[in-house]
């Protein structure tokens, strides 16, 4: 019998096992989208338990409830404004003190909550023993020990959540007590705030006003400017007494309380020798060996993906193209048959055989590396290099993705903290040669000029990415943020979690890219049927012939490369009537053509991803800039190479 609908939110630091708990609770009944008006992911799912239909919201991984990042602001607003029936605070038992800093802030919001004391197995390996009952008593909040990766404690966690929702939370929680001078001013401010009927708790609001929280300050100022003036006055008094900012004073007090609780509930036996995980961490973050391991793993990853992708792509192509006679027998060989097969079905074949065989394994390996804890080490190693273009180490993750496909790479830029960094990372990522552009580079330059020239083009691409990234960093207003990323312990990746996350990413790609790939395929086929290629060729000849020094017919391939980049080399062979491009192109023309194809906007699916993440104006800017840049670079390269040869 149905009892109604409940909402439970999962809150906690990054890499504490929230996603694993989320997957255990919701299985495949999940939906991943964006928070309204934001580029931060919103993961939600449903389950049925004890007659209830329960919506589970996986809040972004955060370290505090301030407004230093979009994720923190979203989490705080959701908890206070949306008012879920319960918040499950997922805490990493192996680093209890650090995690309790967020727990204490959640308690200040006066919300129904329980604690999932997760990763108890890792804590045990570190020699940490936690008295769960004592922790529960000290906090006044139910604490359920869990090992999410093994499913231990998940059922009990859900049972306790339902019990608290049904019976209410009557236990007396501790209150974070500040020093005498601070408490006096909090009390004064709390009394004034109580009269405003503000939706945040009065004491929490008073504390945040003293800390200088911009969002709460702005809202209270609209209600009563005298309150914010009073808050600033009281804050100045405290700063004069302590010699520190109010936010520092209160953070110190919270950390002191968190440390005091942790010391009371945990007993630590220092390990005599470093654990295997600690040794592996030391090796993989070493200033020399770490880079060697990273390079080897990345090369192995790409080799595996392209080996699997190439084999799967050929296998699927043979299967799908074997259906062509069936289509001809149904629709005939006339215009209708050409349209259905060449326009619609070949678009589906292109997406299925070219994109998916590379994207699916790429995501799967990426999530295995992420779940194991290695991705944070890559970000750490690449941090100094990425800072040169105004980004931090995490930006290297979407760049890696870009070599597989630029669409998921653009979506992966959500891991960056600020809107500025997300856009800068996406701009840089669209310049990375994806699998489709790799086909152009290897099948043209690699095959007919030499693999060393193809590798030089990749190196040149990296130099251009660095240069343009540096210019964009200087041009965009704002300052880069430091790398703040949890260096979680190494652990065996959770296979089912990686598979589920891969599945949702692949579905997301299909929804964004496939309609556009099919639309592009239909457009190309219609132009071919109505013999419009010649008109387009003449219009583009000032660019293709006069500036780039290429055959006029190449203009067609460059245009439709915007629709589907893999069309470029396929159409080139079709239009020239040969796959032996050395008969038609000189080596210089091959390099110029490849450079242009390498640097202009990847495809219409990437444009769609940019629109989805950053809006129409920014997507148009990136598209126009990259097309113009590629054409200008191609013409300059032609003239430089001609001078060198002559």
Compute the distance between CA of residue 240 and CA of residue 236 in angstroms, rounded to an integer. Answer: 6
Structure-token match 């699997």, residue found: 308
Compute the distance between CA of residue 377 and CA of residue 456 in angstroms, rounded to an integer. Answer: 28
CATH of 180-268, one of 3.40.190.10, 3.40.50.2300, 3.30.60.50, 1.10.287.1770: 1.10.287.1770
Q: For the residues 389-397, what does the mean pLDDT come to?
A: 78
| Residue 39: pLDDT band with limits 50, 70, 90 | low
DSSP 8-state code for residue 577: T
* In contact, 395 and 480? CB cutoff 8 Å: no
Structure-token match 């939110």, residue found: 9
**What class is the 4-167 domain?**
alpha beta
| Residue 485: pLDDT band with limits 50, 70, 90 | low
Compute the distance between CA of residue 539 and CA of residue 535 in angstroms, rounded to an integer. Answer: 6
3-state SS of 102-149? HHHHHHHCCCCEEEEEECHHHHHHCCEEECHHHHHHHHCCCEEECEHH
* 585 Cβ contact partners less than 8 Å away, ≥ 6 residues apart: 444, 448, 551, 593
Percent of the chain predicted with pLDDT > 90: 24
264: pLDDT strictly greater than 90: yes
Q: What integer pLDDT is reported at residue 597 of this predicted model? A: 92
Q: What are phi and psi of 591, to 5 degrees?
A: -65, -45
Is residue 53 helix, strand or coil? Answer: strand
Compute the distance between CA of residue 373 and CA of residue 300 in angstroms, rounded to an integer. Answer: 18
Question: When comparing pLDDT for 465 and 65, which is higher?
Answer: 465
486: pLDDT strictly greater than 90: no
C-alpha separations of 305 from 99, 230, 370, 403 in Å: 37, 61, 17, 11
Q: For the residues 566-572, what does the mean pLDDT come to?
A: 72
| Residue 28: pLDDT band with limits 50, 70, 90 | low
423: pLDDT strictly greater than 80: yes
Angle between helices 154-167 and 18-26 (to 10 degrees): 80
Phi-psi label, residue 431: left if phi above 0, alpha if psi -120 to 50, beta otherwise? alpha
633: pLDDT strictly greater than 90: yes
67: pLDDT strictly greater than 80: no
Q: For the residues 215-224, what does the mean pLDDT come to?
A: 86
pTM: 0.59
212: pLDDT strictly greater than 60: yes
355: pLDDT strictly greater than 90: no
Of 66-70, 238-242, 397-401, 433-437, minimum mean pLDDT range: 66-70
* In contact, 201 and 193? CB cutoff 8 Å: no
The overall average pLDDT reported for the chain is 83
pLDDT tens digits, residue range 595-612?
999 998 888 888 888 988
- Pinpoint the residues of the chain covered by CATH 3.40.50.300: 4-167
- Pinpoint the residues of the chain covered by CATH 1.10.287.1770: 180-268
* In contact, 276 and 337? CB cutoff 8 Å: no
114: pLDDT strictly greater than 90: yes
Q: For the residues 528-544, what does the mean pLDDT come to?
A: 83
Compute the distance between CA of residue 416 and CA of residue 398 in angstroms, rounded to an integer. Answer: 10
Q: What integer pLDDT is reported at residue 482 of this predicted model? A: 53
Percent of the chain predicted with pLDDT > 70: 89
Q: What integer pLDDT is reported at residue 133 of this predicted model? A: 93
372: pLDDT strictly greater than 50: yes
Compute the distance between CA of residue 106 and CA of residue 112 in angstroms, rounded to an integer. Answer: 10
Containing 42, the helix (H) or strand (E) segment is strand 41-49
Q: What integer pLDDT is reported at residue 481 of this predicted model? A: 58
9: pLDDT strictly greater than 90: yes
DSSP 8-state code for residue 58: E
| Residue 1: pLDDT band with limits 50, 70, 90 | very low
Q: What integer pLDDT is reported at residue 446 of this predicted model? A: 82
Q: What integer pLDDT is reported at residue 572 of this predicted model? A: 76
Compute the distance between CA of residue 402 and CA of residue 412 in angstroms, rounded to an integer. Answer: 9
| Residue 637: pLDDT band with limits 50, 70, 90 | very high
């Amino acid at each position: 019998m149905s009892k109604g609908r409940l909402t439970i939110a999962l809150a906690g630091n990054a890499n504490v096992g929230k996603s694993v708990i989320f997957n255990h609770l919701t299985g495949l009944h999940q939906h991943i989208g964006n928070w309204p008006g934001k580029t931060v992911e919103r993961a939600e799912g449903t389950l049925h338990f004890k007659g209830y239909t329960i919506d589970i919201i996986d809040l972004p991984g955060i370290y505090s409830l301030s407004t230093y990042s979009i994720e923190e602001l979203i989490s705080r607003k959701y908890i206070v404004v949306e008012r879920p029936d319960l918040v499950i605070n997922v805490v990493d038992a192996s680093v209890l003190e650090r995690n309790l800093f967020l727990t204490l802030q959640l308690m200040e919001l006066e919300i129904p909550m329980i604690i999932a004391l997760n990763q108890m197995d890792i804590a045990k390996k570190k020699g940490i023993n936690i008295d769960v009952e004592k922790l529960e008593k000290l906090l006044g909040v139910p604490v359920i020990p869990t090992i999410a990766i093994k499913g231990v404690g998940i059922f009990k966690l859900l049972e306790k959540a339902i019990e608290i929702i049904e019976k209410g939370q009557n236990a007396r929680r501790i209150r974070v007590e500040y020093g005498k001078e601070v408490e006096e001013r909090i009390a004064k401010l709390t009394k004034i705030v109580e009269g405003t009927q503000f939706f945040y708790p009065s004491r929490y609001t008073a504390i945040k006003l003293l800390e200088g929280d911009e969002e709460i300050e702005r809202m209270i100022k609209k209600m009563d400017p005298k309150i914010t003036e009073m808050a600033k006055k009281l804050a100045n008094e405290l700063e004069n007494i302590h010699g520190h900012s109010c936010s520092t004073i209160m953070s110190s007090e919270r950390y002191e309380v968190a440390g005091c609780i942790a010391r009371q509930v945990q007993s630590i036996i220092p390990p005599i020798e470093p654990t295997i995980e600690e040794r592996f961490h030391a090796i993989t973050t070493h200033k020399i060996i770490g880079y060697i391991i990273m390079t080897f793993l990345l090369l192995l990853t790409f080799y595996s993906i392209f080996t699997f992708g190439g084999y799967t792509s050929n296998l699927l192509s043979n299967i799908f193209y074997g259906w062509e006679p069936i289509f001809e027998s149904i629709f005939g060989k006339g215009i209708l048959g050409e349209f259905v097969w060449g326009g619609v079905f070949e678009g589906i074949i292109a997406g299925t055989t070219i994109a998916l065989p590379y994207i699916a394994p790429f995501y799967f390996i990426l999530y295995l590396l992420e779940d194991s804890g290695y991705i944070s080490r890559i970000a750490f190693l690449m941090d100094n290099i990425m800072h040169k273009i105004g980004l931090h180490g995490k930006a290297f993750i979407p760049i890696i993705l870009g070599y597989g496909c630029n669409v998921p790479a653009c979506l992966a830029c959500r891991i960056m903290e600020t809107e500025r960094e997300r856009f800068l990372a996406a701009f840089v990522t669209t310049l990375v040669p994806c699998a489709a552009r790799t086909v152009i580079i290897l099948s043209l330059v690699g095959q007919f000029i030499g693999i060393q020239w193809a590798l030089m083009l990749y190196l040149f691409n990296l130099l251009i990415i660095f240069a343009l990234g540096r210019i964009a960093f200087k041009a965009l207003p704002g300052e880069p943020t430091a790398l703040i990323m949890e260096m979680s312990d190494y652990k065996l990746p959770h296979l089912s979690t990686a598979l589920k996350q891969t599945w949702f990413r692949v579905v997301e790609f299909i929804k964004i890219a496939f309609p556009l790939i099919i639309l592009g395929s239909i457009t190309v086929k219609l132009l071919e049927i109505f013999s419009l290629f010649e008109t387009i060729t003449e219009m583009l000849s000032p660019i293709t012939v006069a500036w780039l020094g290429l055959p006029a017919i190449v203009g067609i391939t460059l245009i439709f490369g915007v629709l589907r980049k893999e069309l470029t080399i396929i159409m080139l062979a079709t239009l020239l009537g040969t796959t032996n491009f050395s008969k038609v192109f000189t080596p210089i023309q091959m390099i110029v053509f490849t450079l242009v194809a390498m640097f202009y906007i990847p495809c219409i699916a990437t444009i769609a991803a940019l629109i989805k993440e950053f809006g129409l104006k920014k997507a148009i800017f990136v598209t126009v800039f990259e097309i113009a840049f590629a054409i200008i670079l191609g013409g300059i390269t032609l003239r430089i190479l001609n001078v060198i040869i002559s």
